[in-house]
Amino acid sequence: MLLFRDFKKPIIEYEDRKYIFSIKSLVLLAIAAPISAYLIY
């Protein structure tokens, strides 16, 4: 069984910088993306 502290966060390395995506940012992205797409189109 997976424990929460064992969850590996996705990391993107870009120009020697590491961006760690937390669950909060992923949820925010999942909510904001459809709304912004609806507003744009």
**3-33 pLDDT, tens digit each:** 455 556 666 666 766 666 666 777 777 888 8
- Output the pLDDT for position 2: 46
pTM of the model: 0.37
The reported pLDDT for the residue numbered 31 is 84
Res 26: pLDDT: 75
Please tell me the distance from the alpha carbon of residue 28 to that of residue 31, in angstroms, as a whole number: 5
**Residue 20, strand partner residues:** 11
* Top-confidence residue, 41 or 7: 41
What pLDDT sits at residue 11?
60
Sign of the Cα pseudo-torsion (24, 25, 30, 36, in order)? positive
φ, ψ of residue 5 to 5 degrees: the values are -75, -15
